[in-house]
Structure 1
Amino acid sequence: MEKAKMSAYQLFTLIILFEIGTVAFFPIALDAKQDAWLATLIAMAGGFCLFFIYYGLYRYYPDLPLTEYVQRVLGSVLGKILAFCYVLYFVYTAADRLRAFGELLVTVAYPATPLFIINTLFILVVVYMVYKGIEVVSRTSEVLFVGMCLLLLSGFLLMIISGNIHIENVKPVLEKGLSPVSNTAFTETLYFPFGQMILFAMIFPYVKEREKVKRTGLWAMGMSGFLVALIAAIDISVLGVDLTSHAQYPLLASIQSIEVAGFLERLDIYFILFVMIGSFLKLSIYIYAAVMGASHLFQVEQPSSLAYPMGIVVLLGSMAIASNYTEYVQEWEVVVAPYIDRSFQVIIPVLLLIIAFFKNRKKAI
């Protein structure tokens, strides 16, 4: 591991920015229609269960990241294969998020700029921070967290002042019962964004206040879940269910509807800043986890030397992941969410925890 430490507060800011970082790319839980906010809260409860699985593994191996303790749990050969699969998963997801970010900027702000140029400029900044190490990433999150809070608070106040929020759009609650809401929560929203907390299995060992990891993680997940549910509720209350379902970026459409005193309008910059801050931190953590995992596997003495090569792999992957935006979204909905995310976020960690439990019980005996 890198010889670095972070505080519990820095972990708190990292988790929140990571969780809400890319919710603007995809409408959250819209299969539940006007109950999307409720489906998000139910998924958050499931996310707490996943967090306890990841935290349970951390308790057994507090000094090791995920890619190292899988080798303790499964043995050298199987453990290295699974660790390599997790590195590939982190790289793939980072490329996926970079592609989403680039497509968004091309669509919203820079239609004449090639996607490759936008992705290249963004990944250069991300990789530079990863090269500097987890302490720089965590300190940066403290600063960006303040900026994100100001954005969210001022944007919410402007939304209220403009009079665009119509509570009747989120009614009736549970019109078709609890079944479609819970189905949406546990088949979609649980994995994005809450299941992505598996990434912090690579980060927990760096927290110097170990006794605060559980409390900090639960508070951060609770707050981020509340914010995601609030964003979903605002989108639906402003746009209505139908328009929210058909909008490519519902949060952007909601922000564009703000008009105060006849002159304060077209606040697209709020949306762009929100996306840039969240994507920057999220990509940084994914690439950092991939770099550290690869350095463990291949016994690289200076993990930072892998930062730029890993950035190139992510950049090329973001361009090759799909030929267009429609294909990208379909691939995510049909392949990534139901199979890849479910395996790496739920099935494998549960099996690892069961095996770790029996192994450590034998040692105790």
Structure 2
Amino acid sequence: MSKTAGLNNSLITPGQSAKMVFMFAMGSSTLILPTAVTVIAKQDSWVSMLLAGPINYFVLMIYLALAERFPNMSLAQYAQKLLGVWAGKLLSITYIVFFLILSSLVLRNISDFLGLSVLPQTPAWFINSTFMLVVVYGVYLGIETIARTGEILFTWGMLIIIVILVSLTNQFNFHNFEPILYKGLLRPIKGVYPILGFPIAEFVFFTSILPLVQKQNKRKLRKALKLSMIVLTTSSTILTFYLIAVMGVSEVTRSPFSVYDMAKYINIEEILVRVEILVAMVWIGTVFMKLVLCVYALTVTTAQVVGLHTYRPLVLPYAFVIVPLSILLYRNIAHTKEVAMGVWTLYSSLQGIIIPLLLLLIAVITGKRDSTDGKLVSDQQGQVEKQTESKQQESSKSATGAQSEPQADEADG
């Protein structure tokens, strides 16, 4: 096996892609998003989560439609095919800025949560720097390693969430939902607004991963993503429903990390108590996946714009930018909510929904398609090495079988 075979991996399955999308979305919706939606939709916030499901799937179908026309290219590459080289590069630079800001915001979420709930005496710069070390290592290993990590975290995360929800069923108070839809669907529809900003529009990171899905299994990708969106919508709706049923609207709107605080209500015969740390573990895992995917999309997009053969030399320099930027972006939690509820949704929707939709319209009108291989050289090397390794294994097996046949003949003689 080549020494670099583990570093140049670039093939993922549709199932892994769907799980990464789910983990990416849960990085926002597990702790932060329900509070933002409840502020607007009140006791009908679970309806807003339900309404966001079709929009989730529609946005992903935009990316898939572009990927069908440019199967081996990311957004940064087919933007140059549709708009011209220079206009495409300028547009790609806006995505570099977007992924850089998004990575910093996600990292800041970690320090805010740990600083308020788990490690109140630890400086934010230390938490961010330590967490970023693990992220840098994960991004450097490649997308296949990230995908396999996502599969492990997905299984354990879903198991813990189910256990927590089952443990909270004795805390329900259905009066917290009264009156249901007392202003019709208008308020739940307004509650979809923050969901558009995060995580729906942020799914644009997926355009950097689509070219790396195994070609022989790409037909299964649409079905896998549909299932992922169903699971995501269902889990988000149930989590928000539990929040209202257990805590009530007033408590949810006052809590910056409402799902974490909800877990504090678990008390089964004074035996199963203080299990909110399990929620912290799940959320840290999902945020880790989201940050790794953001940094991966950031470095890959930059490498494609600049014309580098590999993204790996960019990982560490970007880490030195993301850590201080994460501290400078927000003053406090209140400022975080103000930006998230106002500016971020508009900015994120422009980058993640409107621009890809316009690119798709241009591609349809002009009829442009291109199957040119746009992968980075390191990714191509990884695929070649895997193919060579499999051929070597097959040849060694056949050689072993050929040697055993004469030995069997001699034994018979």
Q: TM-score, normalised by structure 1?
A: 0.94
- Whether 1:89 aligns to 2:95 is no
Q: Is the Cα contact below 8 Å between 1:83 and 1:297 reproduced in 2? A: yes
Give me the whole-angstrom Cα distance separating, in 2, the residues matched to 1:51 and 1:198. 8
The correspondence for 2:248, drawn from 240, 255, 263, is 240
- Whether 1:180 aligns to 2:193 is no
Deviations 1:295-348 (A, max 9, x none): 1111122311111112221112101112222223222222112x2112112211
Question: What's the counterpart of residue 106 of structure 1?
Answer: 115
Q: Is the Cα contact below 8 Å between 1:170 and 1:233 reproduced in 2? A: no
Deviations 1:114-166 (A, max 9, x none): 00000100011011000010011001111111110111111112112xx1122
Please state whether the residue corresponding to 2:197 is helix, strand or coil.
coil
Give me the whole-angstrom Cα distance separating, in 1, the residues matched to 2:244 and 2:220. 36
Letter of the 1:179 counterpart? L
> How big is the shift at 1:283?
0.2
Give me the whole-angstrom Cα distance separating, in 1, the residues matched to 2:89 and 2:260. 43
Question: What's the counterpart of residue 19 of structure 1?
Answer: 25
Letter of the 2:336 counterpart? Y
- Whether 1:355 aligns to 2:369 is no
Counterparts in 2 of 1:77 and 1:361: CA distance versus 1, 3 Å = closer
**Identical aligned pairs, as a percentage?**
25
Question: What's the counterpart of residue 154 of structure 2?
Answer: 145
Q: Is the Cα contact below 8 Å between 2:9 and 2:143 reproduced in 1? A: no
Counterparts in 2 of 1:165 and 1:120: CA distance versus 1, 3 Å = same
The correspondence for 2:53, drawn from 15, 23, 44, is 44
The correspondence for 1:333, drawn from 318, 341, 354, is 341
Show the 5 A alignment for 1:88-237: 88-160=97-169, 163-185=170-192, 187-208=193-214, 209-237=217-245
- Whether 1:249 aligns to 2:257 is yes
Gaps of 5+ in 1: none
The correspondence for 2:352, drawn from 325, 345, 355, is 345
Deviations 1:69-93 (A, max 9, x none): 1111111011000111101101100
Which stretch has the larger CA shift, 30-39 or 47-56? Answer: 47-56
Gaps of 5+ in 2: 1-7, 371-413
Q: Is the Cα contact below 8 Å between 2:194 and 2:340 reproduced in 1? A: no
Aligned residues: 358
> How big is the shift at 1:261?
1.0
> How big is the shift at 1:184?
2.0
Which stretch has the larger CA shift, 312-321 or 285-294? Answer: 312-321
Please state whether the residue corresponding to 2:184 is helix, strand or coil.
coil
Deviations 1:242-295 (A, max 9, x none): 111111211122100111111321212112102111110000000000010011
Show the 5 A alignment for 1:60-71: 60-71=69-80
Please state whether the residue corresponding to 2:349 is helix, strand or coil.
helix
Q: Is the Cα contact below 8 Å between 2:202 and 2:352 reproduced in 1? A: yes
